[in-house]
Structure 1
Amino acid sequence: MSKRRIKKVAVIGSGIMGSGIACHFANIGADVLLLDIVPRELIDVEKAKGLTLNDKVVRNRLVNDSLKSALKSKPSPIYHQKFADRITTGNLEDDIAKVKDVDWIIEVVVERLDIKKIVFENLDKHRTPGTLITSNTSGIPIKFMSEGRSEDFQKHFCGTHFFNPARYLKLFEIIPGPKTSNEVLEFLNEYGEKFLGKTSVVAKDTPAFIGNRIGIFGIQSLFHQVKKLGLTVEEVDKLTGPVIGRPKSATFRTVDVVGLDTLVHVANGIYENCPNDEAHELFKLPEFINTMMENKWLGSKTGQGFYKKVKGDNGKSEILSLDLDTLEYRSKKRASFATLELTKTVDKVIDRFPILVSGKDKAGEFYRKNFAAMFEYVSNRIPEITDELYKIDDAMKAGFGWEHGPFQIWDAIGVEKGIEIMKAEGKTPAAWVTDMLASGSSSFYTVKDGATYAYDIPKKAQEKIPGQDAFIILDNIRKSNEVFKNSGVVIEDLGDGILNCEFQSKMNTIGGDVLAGLNKAVDLAEKDFDGLVIGNQGANFSVGANIGMIFMMAVEQEYDELNMAIKYFQDTMMRMRYSSIPTIAAPHGMALGGGCELSMHADKVVAAAETYIGLVEFGVGVIPGGGGSKEMALRAQDTFRKGDVELNTLQEYFLTIGMAKVATSAYEAFDMGVLQKGKDIVVVNKDRQIATAKAHARLLADAGYTQPVKRKDIKVLGKQALGMFLVGTDSMEASNYISEHDQKIANKLAYVMAGGDLSEPTLVSEQYLLDIEREAFLSLCTERKTLERIQHMLKTGKPLRN
């Protein structure tokens, strides 16, 4: 059988979802044909005006406007604006024949079966046999859509449900139709994971599939509980947010963002199509939701929902929240619960659940009711919506941003303890759960030999979850493969001669313990191994240096200690670069300040596509002091070409630091010079990142890695560059574009990147640049305004302009 390759994709329907899917295929390098209907009413308007506009422009107006608005939206659906060139637009009348040349057609039109059937009938006439054809429906049964289509169509047809926004949410549900071939399902499952960077989950053709069936149950369950328990909107959001590993937007804020009408549409669909669901009545909308729908309080899209942003008399914005009893907006109230206080010192979310369900206050009661209902519901959905319990967890994590799925939470509480809580709330688990305990399995999941096993219901045994071989899951190997540990890092043996250094500090900040761990990792790797990966699977790679420690030293005026601490940071970065083994950094999420400097000093970066990386030190009143300023001066020099205006090149790198630029994807980091073309690479699926980084460390080692020679050939421009920078910062301050303190920081950076006030261009060593960088950093730490900036950042998490 020939291997299926996806080079060209057609997306039919250019609404928010269609444009988002088109952008994500462009993100991964596919050619995309985006088609939508001809806007009849527009053509009539143009004709009435007597305009002789290029007919095609008017005929494609709908699709072009939709794509344009998607590309402007924030967060952006595309990794890099130039990737949009991979998308060609057209309309379903003039351009439908072009689908004969594509490898995959994805339908994303309005959720009406009659319209979808017409679209499929037309596509069936033009598609080449063997072409994949799928629907991004979120609720219409797949079996109805392919009725009456050709045999070849039905064999290559299924549902592929992306979650919105398609770039950011990882769930990719694949729903077979009655005649979908196995080859198609297997192909899509692998393609989703490997190329689209998704968590692929094959679901059954049941209403709302897996993610929305469970997710909407969870939200509806809350809607019905909130008034019974006398909780406010803010309290529910406090209880269902980061404390239990859910997104900051928690419940009600999420509904506002998604749109209440979207949620109601899915809930109604489940209510109508699942008459035998034991929680059927729960999908009925409570009175306050009906009122909100009538009032068009749908959330962000209508300017108000559970929350509403208003401008006060003083011109300041305030966010009000909805009182669910009076249905009037009022000022937000701070929510606090004794039970939540008990979890403040518990860093790992999974360890908080036993504490939360044993709370003695309203929060404890809320969690017991909530989890009891959820556990009963998910256990009863097997085998209705899926045969495997891990697929429910995968869907909730990838589609709703939960850190842990329902069965993982149940495991954390203890299966028997969970049943006890359920009984107290009048709930019962499905029979298979008690069978599982009787068969000797006391948990839904186990870890053996670095792999995760899940309980298989028909086999009544723990079975290895398929598809893990391309991944390295640090949680699974940490205990068995630990080589060294301190309070900042764990160093694990990844096998095949490669070590991994995993940060374990709060937000993965880089302080003394992490630096000691990094040095230890290099020592160990040089002695007994062939390479080192610096990678973790936390929410963020690293938010930078521990500024709390810098602040304390600066306030106490312990400048010698501070100088030593900064030198230790710089020396550690240089160790990464000049060790005798290859070092690979694997940044993902936020890689800011020191996290960015570390990445820039590795031999190679294997970045996740979703990496937000940059040197942000200006925000706290200093310059990059861990080798970042030196590195930008060095990289600017390495890009000087004969005949270049060298000053202009240097200025670009200077501005990258001075404006504290952060890339909104790894691809943008190449433009900033933070990642390097031809050397660093990007992986779309974060789950594959550590395994890919390990493979690259192995490749470099096998290619005969030689320890690099320290550089002494860096061309700095001296006074010529310094003069230009100082004139620039002077005029910016004079025109009130930057503050006086901003100017002071910028001038210090200018001094470092110019290599000091040397009278002519000179070749210097990296150490020379590091020394003047450290001196500049230290002198800024003696400034009151810098200390105010650091203190403000520590208190509020936001930069201060003073």
Structure 2
Amino acid sequence: MSKRRIKKIAIIGSGIMGSGIACHFANIGVEVLLLDIIPRELNELEKAKGLTLNDKVVRNRLVNDALMTSVKSKPAPLYHPSFKNRITTGNLEDDIAKVAHVDWIMEVVVERLDIKQQVFEKLEKHRTPGTLITSNTSGIPIKFMSDGRSEDFQKHFCGTHFFNPARYLRLFEIIPGPKTDASVLEFLNGYGEQFLGKTSVVAKDTPAFIGNRIGIFSIMNVFHVVQELGMTIEEVDKLSGPVIGRPKSATFRTVDVVGLDTLVHVANGIKDNCPKDERLELFTIPGFINTMMENKWLGSKTGQGFYKKSVSAEGKKEILSLDLNTLEYRPKQSAKFATLELTKTIDRVVDRFKVLVSGKDKAAEFYRKHFAALFAYVSHRIPEITDEIYKIDDAMKAGFGWEDGPFQIWDAIGVEKGIEMIKAEGLEPNAWVSEMLSSGSNSFYTVKDGASYCYDIPKKSQEKIPGQDSFIILDNIRKTNEVFKNSGVVIEDLGDGILNCEFQSKMNTIGGDVLAGLNKAIDLAEKDFDGLVIGNQGANFSVGANIGMIFMMAVEQEYDELNMAIKYFQDTMMRMRYSAIPTVAAPHGMALGGACELSMHADKVVAAAETYIGLVEFGVGVIPGGAGSKEMALRASDTFRKGDVELNVLQEYFLTIGMAKVATSAYEAYDLGVLQKGKDIVVVNRDRQIATAKAHARLLADAGYTQPVRRKDVKVLGKQALGMFLVGTDSMEASHYISEHDQKIANKLAYVMAGGDLSEPTLVTEQYLLDLEREAFLSLCTERKTLERIQHMLKTGKPLRN
């Protein structure tokens, strides 16, 4: 069988979803042909220009406008603005023949069966036999779409359902049609995971598939519980957000973002097409939702939904909430529950569920009702929507951003306790759940030899979940492979001579215990191993140094201790770079400040595509003090080329720190000089990141890694650069672009990056620059305005401009 490769894809339909999918294929380096219909009439601007309906610019207007809107939207659909060049636009009349030359055709037109069938008829005339053809539908049965098409078409046809926004939501549902070839499903499953960076889930051809069937049930269930318990939307959003590992937008804010009309459309589709669903009554739209639909209160797109932005009489912006009883907007109310207070000290979300369902207040009652209904419902969806338990959990985590899937939450509460809750609500779980308990399995999941197993209903035994071999799951190996542990890190043996240092502090901040752990990891690796990975699988790699600790020392004026702490950080970074073994950093999510400095001092960075990395120290009134300012000066020196205006090169690196720039993807980090082309690499699928980092550490070791020699050849420009920077900051302060304190910080950074006020360009050692950096950092810590900035960041999580 020949190996299928995707070099070019045609996407038919350029709406929000089509353009978003086009951008994500461009993100991974695929050439995209994006086609849409031609306009039926000229707009005012075209009339004014004297254009006709035959002009190409008019014929491609709809597709070009849609793509432009998508590219400019926030959050950005592209990893890097230049990736837009991989997308070519056209229309379905002039350019349809071009689909003969692509490897995959994906239809993303309006959700109407008749229109989809017309599009497929047109496409089949030009499609080359053997080409993949899929529909990104969120609920129309796949079996109806390919009706009447040729044998070859039906063999290569299925549904591929992305969630919006396509770059960020990881669920990729694959839905076979009646005649889809097994090899097509296998290919798409692997391609979604490896290339698109998604969680691929093969679903059955049932209404709303897996993600939306369970997700919409969960939301509709909340709508009914709210009325039953007389709760406010703020109370529900407080209970159904980050505290249970769900997105900050929780329930009602999520509906506002997605659009109430979308939710109602899917709920009605389930109600009309799933007559055997035992909870069909829950999909009936409640009265308050019908009123909102009539009023066109659909959420963000109409300016109001469950929440509404308004401006008070004093001109103050505020967010109002909808009162579900009176259907009038009122000021937001805060929500507090005793049960939630009990979970404040429990860091791991999965450990909170037991506490949440055992409380005595309204919150605990809400959780018992909500989870009982959810557990019963998912148990009855097998085998209707899928045969495997883990596919339901995967779909909810990847499509709705839940940290734990329904069966994982049920496991955390206890299977028997879950059954008890279900029965208390007058419901019944599916019979297979009791059969599982009597077969000797008392949980849906188990871990054995570092691999995850899941209960297989027909086999009545725990079976290994497929597709794990390219992953390393730290949760699964932490206990058995632990080599060392302190309060800040766990060091695990990844096998094949490579160690991993995993941060375990709050938000993975880097304090004394983490630095001690890093040093210990290097000691262990140098003694008994061949390489070291610094990686974790938390929500974020690390939000940077522990600024609370710096604040305490500065307020107490313990400058000697603070000096020692900064030096310890710098020395640890240098130790990473100059150790006898290769070090590989694996940043993902937020990698700010000290975490960025750490990444820059590894021998190699294997970054997740979704890495938001940068030196943000200016926001708290200091300069990068963990070798970051030194490193930017060194990198500028390394990029000086003969004939360069060296000052301009240095200025670029200076501005990266001075403007606290943060890359919004790993590809943007190359532009900032934080990642280096040819050395550091990007991985699209975060699940593969630790395994890839381990492989690169092994490669470096096998290539004959030698301990690097400390640098004594960093070219600094002295007075010449310092003068230019000081003039620049002076004029920016004079024109009120920056505050007086901003100017002071920038001038300190200028002094470090210029290498002090040397009379001419000079070659210096890294240690010389580190000493300048530390001195500047310490002097800023004595400033009242810096302490105000740090305190404000600790209190609010936002930077202060003072």
Match of 1:522 in 2: 522
CA offsets 1:319-369 (integer angstroms, 9 cap, x no match): 111000011111111111000000000000000000000010000000000
Match of 1:9 in 2: 9
Q: Distance in 2 between matches of 1:715 and 1:550?
A: 31
Matches within 5 A, 1:644-683: 644-683=644-683
* 1:684-710 residue CA offsets vs partner (Å, 9 max, x unmatched): 000000000000000000000000000
Using a 3 Å threshold, how does the CA distance of structure 1 residues 442 and 780 change in structure 2: closer, same or farther?
A: same
1:306-705 mapped onto 2 (5 Å cutoff) = 306-705=306-705
Paired position in structure 1 for 2:233: 233
Alignment RMSD = 1.0
Q: CA deviation at 1:526?
A: 0.3
Separation of aligned partners in 2, 1:568 and 1:708: 20
Q: Which moved further from structure 2: 578-587 or 316-325?
A: 316-325
Relative to 1, partners in 2 of residues 1:50 and 1:642: Cα closer, same or farther, differing over 3 Å?
closer
Q: Who is 1:113 aligned against?
A: 113
Q: Which amino acid in 1 is paired with 2:205?
A: D
Query: CA offsets, 1:174-202, max 9 Å, x none?
Result: 00000000000000000000000000000
Aligned residues of 2:52 and 2:58 also touching (Cα < 8 A): no
Alpha-carbon distance in 2 for matches of 1:586, 1:202 = 29
Determine whether 1:777 maps to 2:777.
Answer: yes
CA contact (8 A) 2:41 2:53 kept: no
Give yes or no for the alignment of 1:261 onto 2:251. no
- Give the counterpart letter for 2:784 in structure 1: R
> 1:508 & 1:561 partners in 2: Cα distance?
22
Q: Distance in 2 between the 1:687 and 1:796 partners?
A: 32
The answer to whether 1:247 aligns with 2:257 is no
Shift of 1:102: 0.2
Q: Secondary structure at the match of 2:483?
A: strand
Deviation at 1:426, TM superposition (A): 1.2
Please list the CA deviations of residues 109-139 of structure 1 after superposition, one character each: whole Å capped at 9, or x if unmatched.
Answer: 0000000000000001100000000000001
The residue type paired with residue 31 of structure 2 is D
TM-score (norm 1): 0.99
Q: CA deviation at 1:423?
A: 1.3
Per-residue deviation, residues 477-525 of structure 1 (Å, max 9, x unmatched) = 0000000000000000000000000000000000000000000000000
1:515–1:569 CA contact under 8 A, matched in 2: yes
Q: How big is the shift at 1:800?
A: 0.2
CA 1:44/1:649 → structure 2, altered by over 3 Å: closer, same or farther?
A: closer
Q: CA deviation at 1:275?
A: 1.1
Alpha-carbon deviation of 1:41? 2.2
Partner residue in 2 for 1:300? 300
CA distance in 2, matches of 1:772, 1:203: 59
How many angstroms does 1:425 deviate by? 1.5
1:426-484 deviation line (CA, Å, top 9, x unaligned): 12110000000000000000000000000000000000000000000000000000000
Given residue 527 of structure 1, which amino acid in structure 2 is its aligned partner?
A: K
Q: 1:584-637 CA deviation, whole Å, 9 max, x = no partner?
A: 000000000001000000000000000000000000000000000000000011
Q: Give 1:49 shift.
A: 7.3
Three-state SS of the structure 2 residue aligned to 1:29 is coil
CA deviation map 1:264-292 (0-9, x unaligned): 11001001001110010100100000000
| Partner residue, 1:796 | 796
Point out where structure 2 has 5 or more consecutive residues left out of the alignment: none
Tell me the distance in 2 between the aligned counterparts of 1:46 and 1:580: 67
- Mapped contact 1:210–1:385 kept (Cα < 8 A): yes
Provide the C-alpha distance between the structure 1 equivalents of 2:44 and 2:732, rounded to a whole number of angstroms: 52
Distance 1:462 1:42 in 2: 63
> Alignment partner of 1:314: what SS?
coil
The reply on whether 1:276 has 2:302 as its aligned counterpart is no
Contact 1:543-1:591 at 8 Å conserved across structures: yes
The Cα offsets for residues 719-739 of structure 1, whole Å up to 9 and x where unpaired, read as 000000000000000000000
Which residue does the alignment assign to 2:212? 212
The residue that corresponds to 1:160 in the other structure is 160
* Residues 636, 285 of structure 1: alpha-carbon distance in 2 compared, 3 angstrom cutoff: same
Supply the AA of the counterpart residue of 1:181: D
> What amino acid sits opposite 2:100 in the alignment?
K
Letter in 1 for 2:441: S
For 1:309 and 1:793, the matched residues in 2 are separated by: 26
Q: Separation in 2 of the partners of 1:63 and 1:578?
A: 52
1:764 aligns with 764
Q: Distance between the aligned counterparts of 1:125 and 1:729, measured in 2?
A: 64
**Cα contact 1:246–1:402 (8 A) shared by 2:** yes
Task: Decide which moves more: 104-113 or 310-319.
Answer: 310-319
Q: Who is 1:96 aligned against?
A: 96
Q: For the residues of structure 1 that align with 2:291 and 2:156, how far apart are their CA atoms?
A: 44
Q: Is the 8 A contact 1:259 1:299 kept in 2?
A: yes
Paired residues, number: 802
Q: Structure 1 residue 314: deviation in Å?
A: 2.6
Q: Secondary structure at the match of 1:446?
A: strand
> 1 CA distance for matches of 2:757 and 2:729?
16
1:717-761 deviation per Cα after TM superposition (whole angstroms, max 9, x unaligned): 000000000000000000000000000000000000000000100
- C-alpha distance in 2, partners of 1:211/1:415? 23
Per-residue deviation, 1:379: 0.1
Deviation at 1:228, TM superposition (A): 1.1
- Quick one: percent identity of the two aligned structures? 87
Cα distance in 2, alignment partners of residues 483 and 130 from structure 1: 51
Q: Offset at 1:47?
A: 6.1
Post-superposition offset of 1:311: 1.4
Q: Is 1:43–1:59's contact at 8 Å kept on the other side of the alignment? A: no
